[in-house]
Amino acid sequence: MNATNLKKVVIEPVTRVEGHGKVTILLDEDKKVKQARLHIVEFRGFERFIQGRPFWEVPVLVQRLCGICPVSHHLAAAKAMDIIVGGENLTPTAEKMRRLMHYGQMFQSHVLHFFHLCSPDLLFGFDADPAIRNIIGVAQKYPDLAVQGVMMRKYGQEIIEATAGKKIHGTGAVPGGVNKNLSIEERDHFLKDIDKMLEWSLGAVKIAKDYTMENLDMVKPFGSFDSNHLSLIREDGAMDLYHGGLRCIDPEGNKIFDHIDYSNYLDYIAEEVRPWSYMKFPFIKSLGTEKGWYRVGPLARVNTCDFIDTPLAEKERKEFMALTGGKPNNITLAYHWTRMIETLHSAEKIRDLLNDPDLQGNDLITKGERRDEAIALIEAPRGTLFHHYKVDKNDQVTMANLIVSTTNNNEPMNRAVTKVAEDHLSGVEITEGLLNHIEVAIRAYDPCLSCATHAMGKMPLIVTLVDHLGDVVDKKIKD
Amino acid sequence: MKEKRKVLLIGFGNPGRLDDGLGPALAEKIEALNIPEVAVDSNYQLTVEDAAYVAENDIVIFADASVNCKEPFIFSRIDPKKDISFTTHSIDPGSVLGLSRDLFHAETEGYILGIRGYDFNEFGEHLSKKAEENLCQAVDFIVTALQKKDFSEILK
């Protein structure tokens, strides 16, 4: 089939908050789905933007990359700059402050996604009227749940403020450590509400779990496929969202590699360029592009770890893994369930850290032998995040390479959209139902298509249907 | 009593994206003035928890860059919205007000200050010259308004 003979169905959001993403569904002559492509215009200019800047500015500068997950970039860059200053062996206070910041970020990010973006789908159904299938709709029909979502998000954001500083220009993590500890007053403020956060997190896990189990026939095949899974892992096999070695498993759970020092990531992972996409496609070198792609994020992390080191989340992990007999779970919509297990885990970690007196320590920074290259990874809410820098003798950054979580999930998202299009496209019309299903499939990955801006007047979703002659036969705009 | 009314000003946008930083830039200038009963916040974007903060105030002003408003800025009253764009991680000012009303029974008055910007599509931590000029005029305007804490006259 020549590509020019294919009919194209284009779903193009012109929104700067999520970058310039669009979905193109290629149809064959029989109007069957041949291929679906999720286009994300990744803004690569950022890596050039930080070249020439002093390395100690980088943990602050990289937050500008993304208004959605600035803390993940802040911490990944700080971990890299630890290596530059020879301060990667952090003091207990510094490491625990950073972990508290990180769990606060994980908690608020997952909560935002679940309550704000996902829960309307689960509570009202994918095909419900978009006018009610949103957070305002949830607020009106399930006000207690909506309040929980807002207050949990607020809690996580306040943890970030207490550890990182301001919402914009956070400076908490610095090369070799942190610039503040947690005061007794701050600690007591957060301890006051932590039991409520745990209770609400358990409730959110239950919503995601019950939805999955009650709708298993629909959920199981929805945008689903077997895949490899990649994440950081602690030395003893526990889930560790802040630090660890790289583990990758195949769809059956066999280890492709394990406990890899991530400073050697270039020996294991490469990025493929495809002419139709600005975003690269990472893959495991030893398996090649066809079989080497993998998933990252909550689903991958729960699949790859041997256990979770907090009791409530571990109990939920066991229940989750029992669904597939202990084998990796490859259900795309199971991202929601695992995201809530991680929310619970983060709340437990926050509680444990708040009760640790090391957070009130005053030994904040360490240094050692100066280096000129650094690679650091962290498990961001959406998956594994890679930061790689080179610094010259004048302390200026000469090279930066970032592989963001959404890039790691590029191929899986394309596969999910293809699967949904195959199952739900009827004729050559972009129905509301098809749109909804595609969005639900993409949303499962919680992609950060951001790295952009959001000024007023740039928010519509434009949907265009183009026939094989290039004529627009259908167009929809979603404000 | 109007002079006791609590005001929250939220400037939002990405300072790393040129004129998209107009909202935070305005917030920074207003915060430095320490105007009584005026709290100032800034962030990359609005999110759901802003509804809780809005509910604690009598008046909220959302300050943002605008790609197409009338120069140098616009200022208008906004009502709580019942719907929301569901493909984004952010939330618009009307939806924040709507959430604040629905979840916290707030009757906060909402206003939007849109400052015209021009350059958005590159990374850079500076405002364009014309955006700077618009910002200065917007600051002068909003400082006067905040001292009165009654915007009904201005909007007439």
CATH value at residue B17? 3.40.50.1450
By the CB < 8 Å criterion, does B25 face chain A?
no
Closest residue of A to B94, CA-based?
Answer: A136
Lowest-pLDDT range, A62-71, A346-355, A404-413, B56-65? A62-71
Task: Say yes or no to pLDDT of A16 above 90.
Answer: no
Mean of pLDDT values over B102-120: 93
Tokens of B145: 């308004």
Any domain includes B7: yes
Name the pLDDT band for A10 (thresholds 50, 70, 90): very low
Of A122 and A320, the one with more pLDDT: A320
Name the pLDDT band for A42 (thresholds 50, 70, 90): low
Any domain includes B156: no
Residue among A100, A91, A101 nearest A63 (CA):
A101
Task: Say yes or no to pLDDT of A6 above 60.
Answer: no
Lowest-pLDDT range, A50-54, A134-138, B37-41? A134-138
Give the model's pLDDT for residue A32: 78
Closest residue of B to A477, CA-based?
Answer: B85
pTM for the full model? 0.89
Name the pLDDT band for A449 (thresholds 50, 70, 90): low
Give the model's pLDDT for residue A166: 78
Give the model's pLDDT for residue A21: 52
By the CB < 8 Å criterion, does B88 face chain A?
yes
Task: Say yes or no to pLDDT of A212 above 90.
Answer: yes
Domain that holds residue B41: 2-148
pLDDT digits (tens, 9 = 90+) for A232-273: 999 999 999 999 999 999 999 999 999 999 999 999 999 998
Name the pLDDT band for A62 (thresholds 50, 70, 90): confident
Q: What is the mean pLDDT of chain A?
A: 86
Any domain includes B56: yes
Distance from CA of A249 to the nearest CA of B (A): 30
Task: Say yes or no to pLDDT of A19 above 50.
Answer: no
Lowest-pLDDT range, A83-92, A116-125, A190-199, A325-334? A116-125
Q: Which of B52, B64, B123 sits opposite A455 (nearest CB)?
A: B64
Any domain includes B154: no
The string of DSSP letters for A145-200 reads HHHHHHHHHHHHHHHHHHHH-SSSS---EETTEES----HHHHHHHHHHHHHHHHH
Give the model's pLDDT for residue A289: 95
List chain A residues with CB under 8 Å of B124: 49
**A–B: how many Cβ contacts below 8 A?**
159
Q: Using CA atoms, how far apart are residues A183 and A360, in angstroms rounded to an integer?
A: 6
Name the pLDDT band for A193 (thresholds 50, 70, 90): very high
By the CB < 8 Å criterion, does B134 face chain A?
no
B123 and A479: CB-CB below 8 Å?
no
Any domain includes B125: yes
Of B98 and A17, the one with more pLDDT: B98
Task: Tell me if A220 sits within 8 A of A134, measured CB to CB.
Answer: no
What whole-number percentage of chain B has pLDDT above 90? Answer: 63
Q: Which of A70, A140, A453 sits opposite B120 (nearest CB)?
A: A453
Q: Which of A18, A67, A136 sits opposite B87 (nearest CB)?
A: A18
Task: Say yes or no to pLDDT of B156 above 70.
Answer: no
Task: Say yes or no to pLDDT of A454 above 70.
Answer: no
Q: How many other C-beta atoms lie within 10 A of the C-beta of residue A7? A: 18
By the CB < 8 Å criterion, does B43 face chain A?
yes
Any domain includes B122: yes
Give the model's pLDDT for residue A138: 85
Any domain includes B54: yes
Domain count for chain B, please give it: 1
Any domain includes B142: yes
List chain B residues with CB under 8 Å of A456: 64-69, 112, 114
Mean of pLDDT values over B36-41: 94
Q: Which of B41, B44, B85 sits opposite A67 (nearest CB)?
A: B44
Task: Tell me if A377 sits within 8 A of A386, measured CB to CB.
Answer: yes
Task: Say yes or no to pLDDT of A158 above 80.
Answer: yes
Highest mean pLDDT among A58-72, A97-111, A277-291: A97-111
The phi and psi torsions of A180 (rounded to 5 degrees) equal -160, 160
Tokens of A354: 């708040």
Give the model's pLDDT for residue A472: 60
N- to C-terminal Cα separation, chain B: 21
Task: Say yes or no to pLDDT of B78 above 50.
Answer: yes
Task: Say yes or no to pLDDT of B154 above 80.
Answer: no
